[in-house]
A and B are shown apart, each in its own frame.
Chain A
Amino acid sequence: MRVWTKSRICFAAMMALVLVGMTACSGNQSGSEGEDGPIVITVGGLSDSTVEFKDGEDLEDNVYTRWLKEEKNIDLQYEFVVSKAEDYATKLRLALSSGSRLPDVIWPNTIELAHELIESGKVKAIGDDIEQYASPELKQLYEEHPEPFASLSRDGKVYGIPGYSSMTGGTVIWIRQDWLDHVGLEAPKTMDEMERVLDAFTHEDPDQNGKDDTFGLALALKNSYNDWMATADWIFGAYGDNLSGHWVEGEGGNLVYGGVQPSVKEALGTMNRWMEKGYIDPEAGIKDANKAGDAFVNEKAGVIAGPYWMGAFPLENLAANNPGANYVPLPLPAGPDGQIGRAWTNKMESMILFSSEFKHMDAYFDVLNEMSGFSFGDESSPFYKGFFNGYDYVEYDGKTYYKKEEIIEHVPEEQWPKSDGGFINVQKYFSLTGDLEHPYMFDEPLLKFSENPEAEPANPIESTVVKWGKYHWNAGAVRISQNEHTIVNAFTGLPTETMMTRSELMDKLESEAYSKIIYGEQPLDYFDTFVENWKKSGGEQMTQEVNAWYESTRP
């Protein structure tokens, strides 16, 4: 018989406590079943620091969730909330591997993840649901812009709907007008003129500070040749409709990979020449978009290519640092044969898939149909003016206000969306439907206001655009003027077999080869060696698979 001394009892008690503690901290909550009242729809939430709420509201309880509850009898429940898109993907993958419930409405952030979801059989084919429940306007929209559906289909069945992009993407050139004035040059329209400008920016002290500390072009080559800012796509586009990351129509109507076409060699030659002469940021190869953009903001570079909204971010920092700086958007310059090209914008900004266990597609489309009223400019829709009064627009005393200055002037402070009079971007928490933008919906308003800044908005969509300000309108107009020069990526299918196993290698070969040529570590003819390598390492196979897909999608 052991003696139960005090210390022995203590030890035993401690051990027991620890064991109990371990078992208590286990167990996930599974998704709750809905009550019999409201329809329960579960989603995963993505909420980072850029999402703004009114006081007292948060992701799970806000004007949107309340509207869903009161008007549509839908109880929106968040199975999880993450702050980064990659974390969302991880949560989905975890749910897949542990066999636990997927949220009803799923937003895979990459096409590979969508592919996995479809293959797992846990998402629903919704072709019939679209037929049955989508409004006639929505169906027409889908018919007008059918390209994304190719990425969402498999074996003839549709598994999701696209969250369309407003197609406001498209590279424009941003240039320091004051530097141009200092060196006495006009805005460049051709590549030759651009080269002259870059030379002047590099060697002729355009910022007139007596120091040789500037160069021409800010470029970000670390992650891709078509990063979101400081891109090089326009350089490639000036020599041919061929660009890395794009599958374009080649001879005989087949698809070929843009990154290995002869015109790319010419573009690389130009970039090499520019690099040797010092026109390009010597550290372009190690910089990503943000760091490369810093060079322009810090007044080291005079030219940078990027989206039309750069005028606001990050270039506004330049205006803050140096009020005298004058930067303007320009159309892309033409190459030796008058050729202009820029990278494409995917019509599909996000993908919405549905769990195979989701039973309320009718309720979903009900919401989608009704809220789309704004984007369609449907006067009869309750959302014609905007989404929610007091958030993205303010109604007061019989008038509707879309401009911050007018709100500050005419509306009492309690009714301001934010304490500084600015608007709240409610669309960021439309977790069921996304921001409901339609392709090209902002183009006409942008053109209208860039030509006539004093014009009055004629409808709520125009009122939204009026908020954006002069920089956006002008840059937007520049971008729209070159819409026809977009190099379309004709391959929108799910990744092929070879792509899944080999694209990492191919991308690495490509970025290494391009970098080496640009930096002069390899002569220009190395490009041909690279192309051979590319074909042998899986490029030929990939091309065949892509064309097999292309054939299958043609009527």
Chain B
Amino acid sequence: MKKYWKRTWPLHMLLLPSVILLIIFQYIPILGIVIAFQNYKPWLGILNSPWAGWEHFNYLFTYPASLQVITNTLIIAFFKMITNLIVPFVFALLLNEVRRMSFKRLVQTMVYLPHFMSWVILGGILIDILSVNGGLVNQFLSLFGVNPIFFLGSPDWFRPTVIVTDVWKEFGFQAIIFLAALSGINPSLYEAAEIDGANRWKQTLHITVPSITPIFIVVATLSLGQIMNAGFDQIFNLYNPLVYSVGDIIDTFVYRVGLVGGSFSFGTAVGLFKSMIGFIFIVVAYRAAYKFANYRIF
């Protein structure tokens, strides 16, 4: 043991400042969760604010639309998660096949730029592009004789619109991880397969995919923790009263309540609720990954 420390203490020292930061800013604030059980008033502070027990959780669950709001969150987050895994994955596989480096780099850059755009701006742009009166998308659809679709105002189309635009924005950036993993695959595997007579498709199936599977599982499991985050930024900029029933998510709901009452406690309570659910999902996924893919992340 002593030998281990003797050998590695400089590395631990190097890590120490970050660990201290982590403890101060991420772990100690966890104690602040107690706010969720109080009626927190900023000027009274944590120690003096009146106790509220389960009041805020009660409000969250007895709120008439709470089921609707939670359902919306889960559905949107779930579909986003799946598409945000599959699309970048497939895209990475495809891009990996491109031989001309300049083209590959160009495409990669173009495709991850939207990640850096803010939803405030994108929202405004989308309202124009998806417009019922002569928006680009509807104009295009009319070439096929399809009637104009009110994407952002129709309860049937709002969720798909949200999901598709989010994937469009993020898939380039998400693909980076997969592309990096792909570049790490040993080329001699491919050569061996070619000698054995495997064509490109078979090579992809038997070499590429299994090699990236571990990364895929890691990304999938980590994203599961976000199951309750359906994307406040995006939804807030795109939603409107016509689509509350399908688009109102937990975060937009908390935002409205918080705006009226300045209620830190309620926001904390909901945040706690979301974190607990996310935590459960991660644990389950981790166990499942181990059981079915015999794969440990940690």
Complex contact A99–B127 (CB within 8 A): no
> How many residues of chain A get a CB closer than 8 Å to chain B's CBs?
47
> Which residues of A have CB within 8 Å of B153?
283, 285-286, 519
Task: Tell me the dominant secondary structure on chain B's binding face.
Answer: helix
Q: Range of interface residues on chain B?
A: 35 or more
Check B262–A285 contact: CB distance below 8 A.
Answer: no
Contact partners of A97 in chain B: CB under 8 A? 42-43, 45
Chain B proximity of A488: nearest CB distance (Å): 23
Chief secondary structure at chain A's binding surface: helix
**Which of B6, B10, B21, B63 has the largest count of A CB atoms less than 10 A from its CB?**
B10
- B242–A519 contact, CB under 8 A? yes
B residues less than 8 Å from A503 (CB atoms): 260
Identify which of B13, B65, B124, B256 contacts A291 (C-beta below 8 A).
B124
Contact partners of B65 in chain A: CB under 8 A: 505, 508
For A235-260 the 0/1 string (1 means CB < 8 A from B) is 00000000000000000000000000
Chain A residues, CB < 8 A from B241: 221-222, 285, 508, 511-512, 514-515
B253 contacts which chain A residues (CB < 8 A)?
504
Q: Mark B119-150, 1 if CB is under 8 A from A, else 0.
A: 00000100100011110000000000000001
B14 within 8 Å of A (CB atoms): yes
Q: Is the CB of A24 closer than 8 A to any CB of chain B?
A: no
B:140-174 near A, CB below 8 Å: 150, 152-153
Chain B neighbourhood of A428, CB < 8 A: none
List the A side residues contacting B240 at CB < 8 Å: 221-222, 285-286, 515
Nearest A-chain residue to B15, judged by Cβ: A15
Q: Tell whether A12 is near chain B: CB-to-CB under 8 Å.
A: yes
Closest to A281 in B: B133
Q: Quick check: is B82 within 8 A (CB to CB) of the other chain? A: no
Find residues 271-292 in chain A having any chain B CB closer than 8 Å to their own CB.
282-283, 285-287, 291
Contacts of A14 in B (CB 8 A): 14
Chain A: which residue is nearest B46 at the CB level? A97
In the complex the two chains form, is A22's CB within 8 Å of B21's CB? yes
- Minimum Cβ distance to chain B for residue A489 (Å): 17
Which of A12, A22, A116, A222 is within 8 Å of B13, CB to CB?
A12
Query: In the docked arrangement, what's the CA distance between A97 and B46, Å?
Result: 9
Closest chain-B Cβ to A443's Cβ sits at a distance in Å of 34
Given contacts A112-B262, A282-B132, A282-B150, contact A99 B59 (CB under 8 A): no
Quick check: is A213 within 8 A (CB to CB) of the other chain? yes
The smallest beta-carbon distance between B134 and chain A, in angstroms, is 7
The distance in angstroms between the C-alpha atoms of A511 and B259, with both chains bound, is 17
Q: Which of B64, B131, B244, B261 is the one whose CB lies under 8 Å from A501?
A: B261
Which positions 227-271 of chain B face chain A at CB distance < 8 Å?
Answer: 240-242, 244-245, 248, 253, 256-257, 259-262
Residue B90 is within 8 A (CB to CB) of chain A in the complex: no
How far is it, in angstroms, between the C-alpha of A500 and the C-alpha of B258 when the chains are bound?
A: 10
| Residue B197 CB within 8 A of the other chain | no
Q: A8-B10, A11-B10, A291-B124 are in contact. Are A112 and B245 (CB under 8 A)?
A: no
In the complex, per-residue mask of A524-539: 1 if CB is within 8 Å of any chain B CB, else 0: 0000000000000100
Counting CB contacts under 8 A, is A96 at the interface?
Answer: yes
- Measured CB to CB, the residues of B under 8 A from A are 6, 10, 13-14, 16-17, 20-21, 41-43, 45, 59, 63-65, 124, 127, 131-134, 150, 152-153, 240-242, 244-245, 248, 253, 256-257, 259-262
Known: A11-B13, A18-B17. 16 other contacts (CB 8 A): A11-B10, A12-B10, A15-B14, A93-B262, A283-B132, A285-B153, A285-B242, A499-B260, A503-B260, A504-B253, A504-B259, A505-B63, A508-B248, A514-B241, A515-B241, A537-B64
Q: Can you show 6 pairs from A to B with CB atoms below 8 A apart?
A: A93-B262, A97-B45, A119-B41, A213-B134, A283-B133, A500-B261
The 6 tightest CB contacts between A and B, nearest first, are A97-B42, A511-B241, A120-B43, A11-B10, A96-B42, A515-B241
